[in-house]
Structure 1
């Protein structure tokens, strides 16, 4: 039964049909996407207006005579279109309606978060969208949440969504029809160059393998280049085969003719002894012819492999072992191998088969031309692998050494030995193809040494200064090198595998001994990374980034002053990164995929038990102010807190205190009464309390306090019972980071379960990702106090306190109040 011939088909029609189907499918998908996008865009736009209105009202909430009062700002409702109905309600911490629509407040639950929450509901016969936000307030008697609800009907949302959809669908339909016409025209023009190429190839002679020079478009140029490359390889292969056949015919003709003559004579030989000698000569000739054919075939194989560049990684030890295994046991016993450990395992990027045949030919020659042991040595010298094979044979005259490297050339000492004259030429070709050299040297005491030098892969090195520094530090886990501006200190953590090519530069405010735990865990996963950590203070860190005051720009910036980090990101200094661990991070602990929080650190009160009894220690902000007001002389010069003009985290905490607490300025005045001492960092306050020179420290970062207490420092810690400010130490990848990928790897590590285990473990910095493990998880820290946990969210709201005039007025007021009277 004849085979069925495949029916020809038209590529032109297939392409057009496929293009048409794709265009129609794309149009349908695009219209569906536009509809969905229109609805989402409309919701986002109006949700932002709702949230802005609610937050504006929240900003106007005040406490007067222990009661919540609010005067609705004009701007709260001026932002709405006027085409929809608007409803609102404000509830105090006791769930009583302060102002607005009571029935709206009754249908929507209370909110205990400063982040806007949205919900759809039916209210007064219409579907409305409700935005609810919370505002934490603290009075002398209580701390609680004020809830603000703002609702709007959805007529304008639907109108905006339909307008976006209708304005987008008509252009999509028109563009689809236009695209169909362009596709048909384009397909017709696309096949014209192929027709020209066909005519060029049909007009050629069968033996014409010259490159095609017909001008073709760029898209077809790849096909022409491939054809030219194929014809060039075919021409080279034909030339190589022709040369090989000619040389083989010339070289093989003589031994075959000799074999034929010897066989013809042997057929007429009657004397058994003479016949035996004839057969011996026939055998010798057959061995010589067989070896010649084998060498010719091997040379052809190696030539093919060298042309195709078949490269893999191997070692000298493996090559020598493979050669020894292929020898007869008696000959293998004659080998004496002396290869250094470094040379035996040094990686060679080469063709394994070619290297094996190169080594086999050298060893075979040494075994054939000598009777004693053959010495094989190997060493690494100046980035190259040097292999030497030495024997005690007759050697090669100096005049003959260049000649024996040519094909079918043998020296005078080869007389009487079976050989083809191809071995050393193969060795020379393999060495040259791998960028190496071959040298024939006379051996002291007689014999020949064949020395082969092959280059080793060069590993990428860092700067010479850094490489020298790392080598000098290899036995030291971490060493402070030199002081830097703003009392900074740089610490080097060499890569665990001894390399110096990959360096991660981190600029941060975390104490070096604490941060060392993160570095150690990170290098466990990344043994080839050297980490350079520079410790400084939060405000100098921010100012140095603005001034670009770095010899080596940092790859990662870590600070506890989240507002300054937000300011840097908002002003375009940060690189966005969508970490795979981001979904597990609380919403308040990251912003725009540019600032990432990785710790959970409450602001606490610390005290010295010998100076303040447990029964009198203040456990709220109000009782602290009252204690300082009533016992001024006792605590004069014995109280400490942050210098908010110097410390970025101190200013952040003070600004948040002022927003939440109605007793903040009273507490600030009490600090002034007792001549409080001010510091730029938590460790200085901790040292004073531990030594007894200070009785109490206010707003100290709990992470440092917990860690010092665990080390045995004589300090006690109070997590306030009214409200607890919690900040997160945040990471930011600078926009011009030299090694942004390394910085991303560290961000992933810090947010991963391994990094969070470090935060919740030995560092006591607290893990911000919920449901972690360890003694210092966010849940465990929150359970140490009874107050309302108020995280400081990473968001644009932090920028308000950084406004130049607002910050200056705040600092001026603070300084006036806390200055000693």
Structure 2
């Protein structure tokens, strides 16, 4: 093959890669500059539109808006700005009518961006919807804000130009540095070549020439190879020398016996000669076999082959290689666990170790050979006992050397290699070998080998302690918490998932059972709380244990925990199927679809007078105050996190919210911290009607036969999703991630759409309670409560306190 220049190849490849990288980098920078400019200006556009949306009001069923100063103050002043506000009937309330004519109506509160040629300029338009409720109807107000793109193009070009010039300069500089570096890089290799050429053929010592760190691994590998080659040569030389010394004597004896036998005339004497020749041949054959096996084991131990086997398998392997009459003399008695204990090492070497010990016992003893084994803390002890002549105490160390035999072996064929092989194998596996005298005569060979550590011991103990404490010595909990323990179906105790949530335990047990069907090795501890106490106690660090997963129907509180850095991220493979409104980043995940509904007792309210909207409910309470005094219930928003979330969203959407709150005050409405309490009151007739009850609980109770009827409002329907997050201090985050994946998977969504009636949030599912089936039960606008930073506004301390104070002043007026 024609030689080539490695230096030129590297230089040409490096220059080509540098040029290609520069081109790719310029393209990337151009794309990044455009995307960065778009992101920056799109955020300004969205902020402007949302500011206008926040100023939308309804007076006398007419939409009015006073454009805030801040809505346009955020623009640069170098671009033209256009805007339009349309009412639910597509009539322009204010702004540019021709802009509104070019844009479709928006029925979402999320900003939607598009490009449009408007008044001979390419403009970027953002459209935002604002859901409003009037006494006669519910609809969407649409806000459009448009801006020409001169400034964003200027920003993109500025980013590109400021980045391209340094890229070009660095490319030329890099080419020069590559050439200089390649020249310098090959200099140490020349010195290494000269050192190797100057060596003698039998010089296998390590290379000591200083080399760069990049070549150091090559030199280390070369030194390692030469060291192995030197060891192999020394081993072969030693083996040849020892074999020549040890084999010379039996071969010479065989030759002499054969020569004498050739001249022997007496048949009996000839037979004796042939017998001695046969004995010598057997001894020589055994010696050669032992020498070859010793060489094989030395090679395998140097290669550090690492298999996993058991003591029982090693003993069975040895027995199968013996004659049947010899194998029948072996008696095996292994303690519990000893036969199946894992031994890590070379399987062939361990087999030959045991074979040599057993062969010696069979050769030097005519009685049964006993093999026993015991398993201790990280150690496996194997004992082989015989009734042979034994070994003198002064010879016990000597017989472990190669070609050394004790005085009691005289007259018995042997090579003197068996015990030396045993000693080498035991030492290579980190064990211990001892030779002891047996009471009553005989020899005891005791071999102790290490067993692998089992990492599951500590988790198993921890699981046992957790379950024991939960089942036997569970400390008293807060009145807000109730604990249930679900052991792993397969009986294992290594894995425990601790969940703190607000879902009623009987409902959540459906999820636990389905999860454990897929993960039978996982136990689950579930502690039920109310939403607000769960949030506050977690922040205060006063929960009874560190949860691995937090689940709450108050998604705003969950979002705040994540926003404040208390959540771990998780890239679930099912995240793409989840609606955008039902998760925030990869930290908060919604998994249910639960509308806020009105429930009533059909014995106390007739079907004809049932309020079907928020306005008709207010009118009913205003006109029949005495009838419903003390018999209407809703959430106590000061105590219930989900109650405050729903009330805050009601106030944002509905222009009749405070009128309804005033009606609650007139009838002395009852306030509760949870849906089940309201459901119980309506079902037993203590209450006539419950407002903003979670539909999931209502549907489930109705299916059980409770005396309640359910109204999905005809004007608008608030829908929340029960959300999950992994706390940053979770002890078993891997189990929490597995549960999130299960809850978002088709199997978990089938549970939500099934007997729990919590509702499947992932579209196109199957079951009685899919999001599509729930939405079809009413005629109102479905308004999901999106999990996003917008929820943080209502959680502002002053804003929340003012809202609660106003609510309490209206619903609980002082006399």
Q: How does 1:357-756 map to 2 (within 5 A)?
A: 357-441=352-436, 447-460=442-455, 461-462=457-458, 466-469=462-465, 472=468, 481-485=474-478, 487-496=480-489, 498-549=491-542, 553-756=546-749
CA contact (8 A) 1:470 1:500 kept: no
Aligned to 2:124: 129
Pair 274,385 (structure 1): closer, same or farther in 2 beyond 3 Å: same
Alignment of 1:319 with 2:348, yes or no, is no
Pair 661,424 (structure 1): closer, same or farther in 2 beyond 3 Å: same
Aligned to 1:3: none
Alignment of 1:194 with 2:189, yes or no, is yes
CA contact (8 A) 1:486 1:537 kept: no
Distance 1:711 1:445 in 2: 80
Distance 2:713 2:322 in 1: 83
1:813 Cα deviation (Å)? 0.3
Aligned to 1:810: 803
Distance 2:207 2:483 in 1: 62
Give CA deviations for 1:134-155 in whole Å, capped at 9, x if unaligned: 1111122221211222222333
Alignment of 1:780 with 2:773, yes or no, is yes
Alignment of 1:260 with 2:255, yes or no, is yes
Distance 1:733 1:96 in 2: 47
Give CA deviations for 1:220-272 in whole Å, capped at 9, x if unaligned: 33233323333333333333333333333332222222222212222222223
Unaligned runs of 5+ in 2: none
Distance 1:212 1:331 in 2: 54
CA contact (8 A) 2:261 2:270 kept: yes
Moved more, 124-133 or 258-267: 124-133
Give CA deviations for 1:439-470 in whole Å, capped at 9, x if unaligned: 44556666545443333222213368624415
CA contact (8 A) 1:483 1:489 kept: no
1:28 Cα deviation (Å)? 0.8
Aligned to 1:767: 760
Alignment of 1:289 with 2:277, yes or no, is no
Pair 481,336 (structure 1): closer, same or farther in 2 beyond 3 Å: same
Pair 711,815 (structure 1): closer, same or farther in 2 beyond 3 Å: same
Give CA deviations for 1:394-430 in whole Å, capped at 9, x if unaligned: 4445554444433333344434433222223322332
1:184 Cα deviation (Å)? 1.3
Distance 1:808 1:86 in 2: 38
Aligned to 2:30: 35
1:378 Cα deviation (Å)? 4.2
CA contact (8 A) 2:467 2:485 kept: no
Pair 815,502 (structure 1): closer, same or farther in 2 beyond 3 Å: same
Give the TM-score of the pair, scaled to structure 1. Answer: 0.92
Pair 196,503 (structure 1): closer, same or farther in 2 beyond 3 Å: farther
Moved more, 225-234 or 721-730: 225-234
Pair 605,162 (structure 1): closer, same or farther in 2 beyond 3 Å: same
Moved more, 620-629 or 529-538: 529-538
Pair 129,372 (structure 1): closer, same or farther in 2 beyond 3 Å: same
Q: How does 1:41-52 map to 2 (within 5 A)?
A: 41-52=36-47
CA contact (8 A) 2:599 2:691 kept: yes
Pair 683,44 (structure 1): closer, same or farther in 2 beyond 3 Å: same
Aligned to 1:176: 171
Alignment of 1:302 with 2:297, yes or no, is yes
1:369 Cα deviation (Å)? 3.2
Give CA deviations for 1:455-513 in whole Å, capped at 9, x if unaligned: 3222213368624415748xx9x899334457334544444555555554433333334
CA contact (8 A) 1:428 1:438 kept: yes
Give the TM-score of the pair, scaled to structure 2. Answer: 0.92
Distance 1:217 1:739 in 2: 45
SS at match of 2:790: helix
Distance 2:552 2:51 in 1: 29
1:810 Cα deviation (Å)? 0.3
CA contact (8 A) 1:370 1:392 kept: yes
CA contact (8 A) 2:460 2:493 kept: no
Pair 716,334 (structure 1): closer, same or farther in 2 beyond 3 Å: farther
CA contact (8 A) 1:647 1:680 kept: yes
CA contact (8 A) 1:138 1:660 kept: yes
CA contact (8 A) 1:27 1:173 kept: yes
1:379 Cα deviation (Å)? 4.7
Distance 1:191 1:527 in 2: 60
- Tell me the number of residue pairs that the alignment of Structure 1 and Structure 2 aligns: 813
Give CA deviations for 1:647-699 in whole Å, capped at 9, x if unaligned: 22111111001001112112212222222222222233333334443333222
Distance 2:563 2:318 in 1: 66
Pair 227,713 (structure 1): closer, same or farther in 2 beyond 3 Å: farther
Distance 1:800 1:752 in 2: 32
CA contact (8 A) 1:604 1:701 kept: yes
Moved more, 530-539 or 595-604: 530-539
Give CA deviations for 1:276-329 in whole Å, capped at 9, x if unaligned: 222222222122122222222222222222222211222333333333332334
Distance 1:472 1:607 in 2: 44
Match of 2:52 among 33, 51, 57: 57
SS at match of 1:604: strand
CA contact (8 A) 2:331 2:371 kept: yes
Alignment of 1:88 with 2:88, yes or no, is no
Distance 1:710 1:431 in 2: 70
Distance 1:515 1:420 in 2: 73
Give CA deviations for 1:109-132 in whole Å, capped at 9, x if unaligned: 211111111222333333332211
RMSD over aligned CA atoms reads: 2.9
Moved more, 284-293 or 702-711: 702-711
